[in-house]
Structure 1
């Protein structure tokens, strides 16, 4: 389904469009594999990749951790473990978490915590 059908309105400024990929199949050995079947395309999104220096008490050596966050329109059908493809760059991410703030006056953007797979 094309995002233009939904009349998407976002509070965040869109930097790209996304395709949501969902579904699995079984290969010849009986192993489950993700499919690249898009359930929606052309979804406007604000996608930001960032890095952070982290240390732990057990290992004080600093490490650089990269992560990505996307914001999509409130009614976007996306769930944990879906995959999304950045239609501008072709990068694929797995959705680790979907969240959104509650607002009684307006529907707010959904926040997607992402992990890059390609």
Structure 2
């Protein structure tokens, strides 16, 4: 891993159906103890239609290459217990080294 790890995370995957037929996420961990660099940031956002500034919070994580993580998986920070939904998974192309995987996250708890 090229980024400096700040925590360890678990990758959660899976859904089930409740008594009403609605899908619910399960907390089935497919991987645990994965070193990750996790940062939360905020940005002040305005639009032309609504010039009132809003604060938008988002998180970005970097995990080692070849980590089994997909869009819509959930990531649980093992240090704080916070859970995030993976919005996007990306990685840069590098011919000499295997780069970390970048996860764009949205906090759920």
TM bucket, shorter chain: over 0.9
Write the distance in 1 (CA, Å) between the matches of 2:25 and 2:4: 30
Q: Of Structure 1 and Structure 2, which has the larger fraction of its residues in strand?
A: 2
CA distance in 2, matches of 1:63, 1:30: 36
What is the CA distance between 1:55 and its match in structure 2? 0.6
Within the candidate set 85, 99, 103, 2:76 is matched to 85
Unpaired runs of 5+ residues, structure 2, are none
Counterpart-to-counterpart distance in 1, 2:99 and 2:60:
15
Count of residue pairs brought into register by the alignment: 109
Partner of 1:30 in structure 2? 21
Is residue 2:2 matched to residue 1:11? Answer: yes
After the TM superposition, which segments of 4 or more aligned residues of structure 1 sit over 6 Å from their partners? none
Distance 1:68 1:53 in 2: 15
Q: Give structure 1 stretches of 5+ with no counterpart.
A: 1-9
Structural RMSD (CA)? 0.5
Structure 1 Cα separation of the partners of residues 50 and 99 of structure 2: 39
Q: What's the CA shift for 1:30?
A: 1.2
1:63 is matched with which residue?
54
1:68-102 deviation line (CA, Å, top 9, x unaligned)? 00000011000100001000000000000000100
Q: TM-score, normalised by structure 1?
A: 0.91
CA distance in structure 2 between the aligned counterparts of 1:84 and 1:36, rounded to whole angstroms: 10
Correspondence for 2:65: 74
Q: Hey, what does 1:53 align to over in structure 2? A: 44
Cα separation, 1, equivalents of 2:17 and 2:39:
33
